[in-house]
Structure 1
Amino acid sequence: YNLLIEYEKKENINIIDEDIATCLYTGLVTDTGNFVYSNTHPSSFEMAKELLSKGAKKDTIIQKVFQSNPYNYYKLLGEALNTLDVVDGKIASITITKEMLKRNVISFNDVDGITPYTRDIEGVEVGILLKEKKENEVKISLRSKNYVDVSKIAKSFNGGGHIRAAGCTIYSSIEDAKKKIVEAVVKSIQGDKNE
């Protein structure tokens, strides 16, 4: 967005039409979680204002991105929520097995939207979604609210990400992966409290 604005000023032309504004606004709302995430800076709202004034189709974006999950997603969500586990009131995890994906006819890549259900529980600092890709390969998504740097935890398992959102893969059974990642999060929370 900023590059295009600078180019428009330099060349004295208008590049950002309705289609480009819509694409940029889509990126903005997905990166900020519809302006909920901590990376939402005041400049994000200024950008949104400008993109809307250039014709970004906000309602269409919100419907397609946030309000168009398939029925099978909700069937899986119900099953996944039954695996919800809370440790010490600060860590919550949900486990999705490959059998659950198969049973609900939903793709491995279509369930990342379940991750916030772990973090959004009152009192929980770190949310964990464990997704079994295949036997002995588990993708872990980590989210935190306030003080835990989940990128450090992910990095300890050869993963990466940001302070509040990160991920890694653990090559083990889903039960063992859960045990390892929860232990690492407990250590991190205890370390952060002691600092």
Structure 2
Amino acid sequence: MFEAASRGVGMDPAGPSLLGSAPWALDRFVKGDTGPLRRLVQEEGSSGGSEDQAPYIAVVCNDYRKAWATDAPLTVRWQQYRKALAGAGQGGFGAFSGQGFNEGPTDGGDVCMSWPRGNTARPQPTDLELPGVPVLVLSGDLDANTPDANGRLAAAKFRGSAFFSVRNAGHVPELEPTGCVTGVTSRFIRTGTPGDTSCLQGLAPIAVTPVGR
């Protein structure tokens, strides 16, 4: 839910958002009132159903880590997947249970189980020596999909990189309405330097429904 909620957050800071309503809805849920959380899930489901998921699924099923061998037949994939879930107690999923790791994200679980074996790209190399060209990496600090830590890792691959965390922004920080982020990006494209980036730390916080109301 947090991953989905962070996608467009910051686009309208003063307006209602899934991320801004989630803490209150979760607080009501643990106190026995399931209505607010159910409504948020239903609203997210109805809005997400109109998106074109084909390009997204193509990336997930080619590039993302899975709990089975991509060259295995479908029946074997299911066996490997269930074995991975059953082996959660062995620590293979860090702080998460096997079920939580595989089924928690929108791109986890068995979403790619039937992806064609002959249509799976080779894993992308992670140890390439990349050129020292100017590279700008911007991460929204509310992004649960590609958080700041991932942005820093990407920037570190280039010797001529600059990394900036955008406060109060989600998965696409350029959507914020002031023009701050697009201005920094435009200057970088035109000049090779981001210029004054102080506005990245001054974007308005999103509206949050107070817990307990």
TM-score for both structures, normalised by structure 1: 0.31
Greater relative contact order, per chain length (Cα 8 Å cut-off, separation 6+): 2
TM-score, normalised relative to structure 2: 0.29
Higher relative helix content? 1
Structure with the largest fraction of strand: 1
